[in-house]
Amino acid sequence: MDPLLRSELIRYGELAQACYDAFDYDLASRYCGSCKYPRRAFFERLGMPDAARGYAVTRYLYATSNFRFPNFFSGRSRADAKLWSQRANWIGYVAVSTDEESARLGRRDIAIAWRGTITRLEWVSDLMDYLRPVADEGIPCPDPEVKVESGFVDLYTDKDPSCRFCKYSAREQVLVEVRKLVAHYTALGEDVSISVTGHSLGSSLAILSAYDIAESAANLSNVQRAAVCVYSFSGPRVGNGRFRERFEGELGVKALRVTNVHDNVPRMPGIFLNEGVPEMVRRVAEGLRMPWCYSHVGVELALDHKRSPFLKDTLDPGCSHNLEAHLHLLDGCERTASVSFLPRTLAVPESNMPV
């Protein structure tokens, strides 16, 4: 693997891992479900000096906890009046590269990181839900055949006007912050990129929010259109074949999906009807409006934890889904399969990109 690409993947993976490390899941804490650290000292408090020098968090992102997703806090009642919020969960953050890091990259990079569910694979029960048109969820897509998994889009768009932290949906929070940052830095004459990352459920939100940014033209200013890319780690499928065509071809969003070949999560949903079946079969199934026809987006980078001499194989399927294991494999082990082409890695100067 190209060493520059490897280092960039690890860096964005660490930005996603920070969402887990900073999440307060102590059931005895009144701040359970929030971020443990203040925004201005986020990376320093996590002990991430390299990331701290490169990025500064500009906004925390919250999602509603009354969504019918597997309970983040089983064993504790959210009705406790002393909790910091009755409805919200901290789900990620938006950060922007510092002047020094922007000079290295050759552009001002806006990074968006999403968290997956804290407990291992308990959210998989919702993965087999039906596809829904994104236009029905307020995303301005002109094609009603562009559909995404209903559970993911609900978490992305749900809000609770009575809650201070999720008065606006995660979608609204992201779009407002991205528009503000793009307008600010393009007005200063800088080139801007938008890089979205996440693991597991966070990968789904990363793909969905990157699509939404491009579809809603949140990356467009009077000066330029900021390019959008996704660094996905161990993520499930998000939408149907028409979503993939819109995402990759018409909107030009790039995605690189890092997976473990022994992980079952990237195989879902759409276990039987997906991008791997013959095109004619997929078209017929979608024409019949079958609600389980899913397609991955972007390019897959497949890893194999069994090729690492430092990882002990276990019978726990959750181990192959672990983000830190993915980062270890990226850092020190070979890939199991070659990539047919490399997406334009927006966080790296083009002159340094592998061909």
Length of the chain: 355
Of the residues 199, 296, 305, 321, only one is catalytic, namely 321
Q: Are 8 and 23 in contact (CB under 8 A)?
A: no
Q: Check 200, 204, 234, 320 and give the catalytic one.
A: 200
Whether 321 sits among the annotated catalytic residues: the reply is yes
Whether residue 305 lies in the annotated active site? no
Query: Alpha-carbon distance 318 to 203, whole Å?
Result: 16
Beta strands in the chain (DSSP E): 55-64, 88-97, 108-114, 131-133, 147-149, 192-199, 227-233, 254-260, 299-303
What is the spatial distance between Cα 88 and Cα 90, in angstroms, rounded to a whole number?
7
Question: Is 7 noted as a catalytic residue in this protein?
Answer: no
Question: Nearest to residue 121, comparing CAs of 278, 317, 295?
Answer: 317
Catalytic residue among 126, 154, 158, 263: 263
Q: What is the C-alpha separation between 78 and 85, in angstroms, rounded?
A: 8
Q: Do residues 117 and 201 touch, judged by C-beta distance below 8 A? A: yes
Task: Tell how strand 55-64 and strand 254-260 pair up.
Answer: unpaired
Give me the active site residues, please.
200, 263, 321
